[in-house]
Amino acid sequence: MRKIIFAFLSFAIIFAGCKSTQKVPALPIQPIPGATIGLQETYWKLTELMGKPAVISEKMKKEIFIILKKEGSRVQGFSGCNTIMGLYKLKEGNRITFSGMASTMMACPDLATESEFNKMLGTVDNYSINGNLMTLNKARMAPLARFEAVIK
């Protein structure tokens, strides 16, 4: 009986010692190895705009995102204060253009990020996807915007 109790206590001590109480710092967003995320019908959350991290301010209702719908080649999303909608066109070689963009007209205290985001959509001419990450680009310049796929 003593051997069983001793063995049980030994295992309990070993397993209790394996649990870490330290907080692990957040890592930068990385692609999920082997993940295949499609461009269309995916919730793409903005993570970086014009080389700067996308930050949700207290004034924003929610995160900036886009969804490219297959039906009608429509794009919908949120640009920081207003809901956005329009059309997109896919071409050979990962080329994409956005057109007919419109938005609601909410009065917001700060429209700088929203304006920059909407301007970026009018400039984009190609995209790339790596795992669960997408970039929208202009020619061969640095990415104009980076997004992360969110499973909802």
Q: Whose structure tokens read 């995209």?
A: 127
Of 42, 13, 69, nearest to 132 (Cα)?
42
Higher pLDDT, 47 or 58: 47
Average pLDDT over residues 4-21: 45
Domain map of the chain by residue range?
34-150
Q: Does domain 34-150 have CATH number 1.10.1670.10?
A: no
Q: How is residue 37 written in tokens?
A: 């995320």
pTM: 0.75
Asked if 80 contacts 115 with a C-beta cutoff of 8 angstroms, the reply is: no
pLDDT digits (tens, 9 = 90+) for 67-120: 999 999 999 999 999 999 999 999 999 999 999 999 999 888 888 899 999 999
pLDDT at 32: 52
Residue 2 main-chain phi, psi, to 5 deg: -60, -40
Q: Are 18 and 46 in contact (CB under 8 A)?
A: no
Q: What is the pLDDT of residue 107?
A: 84
Of 55 and 63, the one with more pLDDT: 63
> Could you read off the pLDDT of 119-145 as tens digits, one per residue?
999 999 999 999 999 999 999 888 999
